[in-house]
Amino acid sequence: MASTHRFVVTGAPNPGWPQGSAPPQRLNVVDFVKDKRMFSLYVQALQEMYDASQDDVRSYYRIGGIHGLPYEPWNDDPNKTPLGSFGGYCTHATSIFPTWHRPYVLAFEQVLQDHAAKIAEEYTTETSEWRKAAAELRQPFWDWAAPGQAVPPDEVIRLSKVYIRAKPDGKETEVENPLYAYKFKFKIPGSGPPVDGWPTTVRHPKDDKPESHPDDLARVLLANQESLTTQTFFMFTLLSAWPEFSNTRAVAAGNPATSLEGIHNSVHNFTGGGGHMSRVPVAGFDPIFYMHHANVDRQLSLWAALHPGVWVTEDKEVSGTFALPDDAPVDGNTSLFPFPNTQDTYWTSNNSADTTPLGYTYPEFDGLNMNDPIGVKKAISEIVSKLYSSSHLSAFPSVRQPAIAAASEATTTISDTRNSLWEWSARVRVKALELERSFHVLIFLGNVPEDSNEWATAPSYVGSFGAFVNEAAAQCANCQAHLDAVTEGYVHLGNAITRHSTGTDHPFDPDRVKPYLKDSLNWRVQMAHGTPVPLESLPSLEVTVVAAQITFQLEDLCITTTLPPVA
């Protein structure tokens, strides 16, 4: 029997909301920081989570530690030692990767909003406005895929101090910015160097020194903006089956687009740059983690709306977790440990599929009738196309922001019309644990600078695919059995091909593109902290050109033909 004192994850409450009406929205952080009341409440609530006793399961330290280190039971978990090779609770490279993180962000949001509601009661002016802001406060998301939004606001990555309207009188006050970094009260048990020498979370440290470099963070994110947008568009467009959408494990004959987890992995590496966010065991301690994963959850909601009826499939948790042994079978009814929805039961992928009972929604669903899945799909397809449609699609005048449909089965019929184009991509397959650290595979069309510091900003740089790695795997005896696991992703080449085309009406036709790619395609490997890696150090790496003919019919987008891979 579970403890009667266990913290139950219910989500933030909706006091005052009529039955059946939409819950509050998780807002884009770009808009969120402009809402002075909500931002002020968020900053103060997050600081209170930081200040809480680390024995409290609702403290920031204990919630951050769910993801990985210190590999300890959370919230009265009856398991006192890890059951799987990976000692944290998080699931990666498995079908429940997207859904496990849903109750995780929900637990964080619930505690944060609870603090905000109590803080709102301490204001002595505009009391009703502060209470309303607290009731509506939800975890903001960072939409790194939206054009122009890859770099978060200064309030998130640059400002170590911010001005808020502080309790009790609401006057403008300068305070330490908890979004800039989390300060540890003591070293994380088991962390090891250099992490155990960092008193705060850091982003893009240099020479393992405990300092963040926001200019480097912004530079890397800007360099990858176009690629992130394109990868996200084709994730929504071309991936219609749960296995290829949900995780990075290579799928036989899968459609040429990177999974949600794969794009998520790259953002972890771009953000951390060798700091906490690029290290699986400690990523959950960086406050930007929850903005990142709120966006991953938002993308899950959008994808599910575009593919009604498609949800979690049977799989296995290869490397295990704190609560699951290696190779444990998982499906939609698997308990998402360690998140209880009652004193005796846990959240599952199936019972958390609808976010309305969880107390939140996203702006894209505002005003939609969620009981009309066809209408929701149509509305969301238009929104997603407008947000993320790849710029090179505009090369075809007949294509007007295509709506999104499930990819059809490939056929052998090749058409050549103004309503179709060849989508070219570099498929990356690699053993994720081969370097024992997080790394990127960078794709170029053209010459590659000798200085690796210039790679991401070179005119020839197209994009990258990242491996987000548990660096403790090399010390784990059981993990050795999983070192051959292959991860897969795609870097889309269409925008770069368009820039290098010579004005032809058909810049993507195979007869034109194949010789160009044969002469121009290059790749390099770089650790998350920036150190270049000789290609011979990664013998499992395979980079292959893949082309798929995409046809626009009745404003739907589908694959009609896929060429055999071109080495």
Rounded Cα distance between 403 and 556, Å, is 5
Rounded Cα distance between 337 and 348, Å, is 9
pLDDT given for residue 410 in this prediction? 32
Is 530 within the bounds of a domain? yes
Residue 268 corresponds to which tokens in the numbers above? Answer: 């972890």
Q: Which residues of 256-294 are buried (b: 16+ CB within 10 A; e: fewer)?
A: bbbbbbbbbbbbbbbbbbbbbbbbbbbbbbbbbbbbbbb
Nearest to 522 by CA among 455, 433, 453: 455
Under DSSP, the state recorded for 39 is H
Pure H helices in 248-346: 260-272, 288-306
Range of the domain at 549: 390-562
Write the CB contacts of 151 (distance below 8 Å, at least 6 apart in sequence): 157, 217, 218, 221, 222
Is 443 within the bounds of a domain? yes
Per-residue CA distances from 406 to 237, 253, 434, 468 (Å): 7, 16, 34, 28
Is 150 within the bounds of a domain? no
Is 458 within the bounds of a domain? yes
CB neighbourhood size of 189 (10 A)? 11
Tally the domains of the chain.
1
Rounded Cα distance between 454 and 456, Å, is 6
Nearest to 321 by CA among 107, 98, 99, 81: 81
Rounded Cα distance between 523 and 545, Å, is 12
pLDDT given for residue 250 in this prediction? 76
Distance between the two ends of the chain, CA-based, in angstroms?
57
pLDDT tens, residue order, the chain (567 aa)? 445 589 999 999 876 566 667 899 999 999 999 999 999 999 999 999 999 999 999 999 999 999 999 999 999 888 888 888 888 999 999 999 999 999 999 999 999 999 999 999 999 999 999 999 999 999 999 999 999 999 999 999 999 999 999 999 999 999 999 999 999 999 999 999 999 999 999 999 999 899 999 999 999 999 999 999 999 999 998 999 999 999 998 776 678 999 999 999 999 999 999 999 999 999 999 999 999 999 999 999 999 999 999 999 999 888 889 999 888 999 999 999 999 999 999 999 999 999 999 999 999 999 999 999 999 999 999 999 999 987 666 544 433 333 333 333 333 233 344 467 889 999 999 999 999 999 999 999 999 999 999 999 999 999 999 999 887 664 454 455 567 889 999 999 999 998 877 655 567 888 889 999 999 999 999 999 999 999 999 999 999 999 988 876 544 555 555 666 664
pLDDT given for residue 485 in this prediction? 85
Is 104 within the bounds of a domain? no
Is 368 within the bounds of a domain? no
Is 265 within the bounds of a domain? no
pLDDT given for residue 551 in this prediction? 75
Is 533 within the bounds of a domain? yes
